[in-house]
Amino acid sequence: MTETAHAEETDRVRRPAAPGPAGPPLPAVRLPLADALVRITHLVQREFAEASRSHGLPPQQAQLLCQLVEGPVGMTELSRTMNLEKSSLSGLVDRVVRRGLVERTRDSSDRRACRITLTDTGARLGDAAHGEVVARLDALAAGLPAADRAVLASLLGRLVTGTGADPAGPPAA
């Protein structure tokens, strides 16, 4: 792609579209996959940061609470899903414990390990923050037709799980 063509496409991407069911569909823009993934990462981080701030949380603390909404999680799993070194995760958990939002509980299957559990206050805040993040991210794709959103969710799910395989199997001949 020439520099001029790339600049024109970049300008089209930066132009805000009016997303939403009542607004026009989002314009078609072709980006290299890596560029598209980087840009969507920045959009997601921005929405996450704004949702976190609206609940009085730094983004990393909100991310931790969102990870725990479904139930207690062990430190090793949190370290992996949050992409944090164990020492960094321990410091994050310490700060959130001091705020009274989570507590460490012993893992019943491994007495050497602990699981991080939301307190009642942490569960309320985590549910609210998670709900707002989901609403904001859904709004990002609101201008896409439902079929496109379903395909996008499927493809991203395959990337996130690292399978790359279509769970529905190969297309019928």
Q: Does 23 fall in a domain?
A: no
Q: Does 37 fall in a domain?
A: yes
Q: Does 161 fall in a domain?
A: no
Q: Which domain holds residue 111?
A: 33-155
pLDDT of res. 56 = 95
pLDDT of res. 167 = 52
pLDDT of res. 170 = 46
pLDDT of res. 111 = 78
pLDDT of res. 44 = 93
pLDDT of res. 47 = 93
Q: Give the contacts of 21 (CB within 8 A, at least 6 positions apart).
A: 142
Q: Does 22 fall in a domain?
A: no
Q: Does 99 fall in a domain?
A: yes
pLDDT of res. 25 = 61
Total domain count, the chain:
1
Q: Does 141 fall in a domain?
A: yes
CATH of the domain at 148: 1.10.10.10
Q: Give the contacts of 61 (CB within 8 A, at least 6 positions apart).
A: 52, 92, 95, 96, 99, 101
Q: Does 144 fall in a domain?
A: yes
pLDDT of res. 2 = 46
Residue 114 to residue 117: CA distance in whole angstroms: 9
Backbone angles phi, psi at 143, to 5 degrees: -80, -5
pLDDT of res. 160 = 84
Average pLDDT, 10 consecutive residues per value, the chain (173 residues): 45 41 61 91 94 95 95 93 93 97 89 91 96 94 92 90 60 43
Q: Does 77 fall in a domain?
A: yes
pLDDT of res. 5 = 47
Segments in the chain forming alpha helices (H): 3-14, 33-54, 59-68, 75-82, 86-98, 120-140, 146-161
